[in-house]
Amino acid sequence: MSGYLSGDPATLMEAIPYCRHLGITASVKDGALLLTMPFVQHLIGNPALPALHGGVIGSLLETAAIAQVIYETRPERLPKPVDITVDYLRSGRAVDSFARARIARQGKRVVNVHAEMWQEDEAKPVAALRGHLLL
């Protein structure tokens, strides 16, 4: 088993170059995994608003889903996304973002995961993801 898959979530994020590029960090808060993505300029998709790029939002949610599955199932390999659907609920503003995920159903090979992203108010999600990952 690779070290970064068995260690703590913070180590996992540091081991993945694209997560470092986006500045995503992970921590465990009250027994649950929480991902944080501090605002930086290169996350912007629309400078006029300004708003986070939809791809950044999708990336954070997909990362939350993967991290949650690793955290709960301790797989030997990185889970592979099969499909994801992202619903964009609000514009992502130029502030810090947070995400968490939960496993809706775990089979032997496939996991169904739901993830949500929010900014200042967890009750007002910016985007939601549903997806399947292959273990």
**Bridge partner list, 99:** 35, 117
Asked if residue 7 binds another protein (CB under 8 A), the reply is: no
User: What is the rounded CA–CA span in Å between residue 9 and residue 114?
Assistant: 18
Q: Which member of 72, 81, 112, 125 binds another protein (CB under 8 A)?
A: 81
Does 23 interact with another protein (rule: CB under 8 A)?
A: no
Nearer to another protein, 76 or 122 (CB): 76
Distance of CA 48 to the CA centre of its chain: 26
Q: Please choose, from the candidates 119, 81, 72, 82, the residue with its C-alpha nearest in 3D space to the C-alpha of residue 98.
A: 119
- For residues 34 to 73, the per-residue mask of contacts with another protein, x marking binding by CB under 8 A and - elsewhere, is -------xxxxxxxxx---xxxx-xxx-xx----------
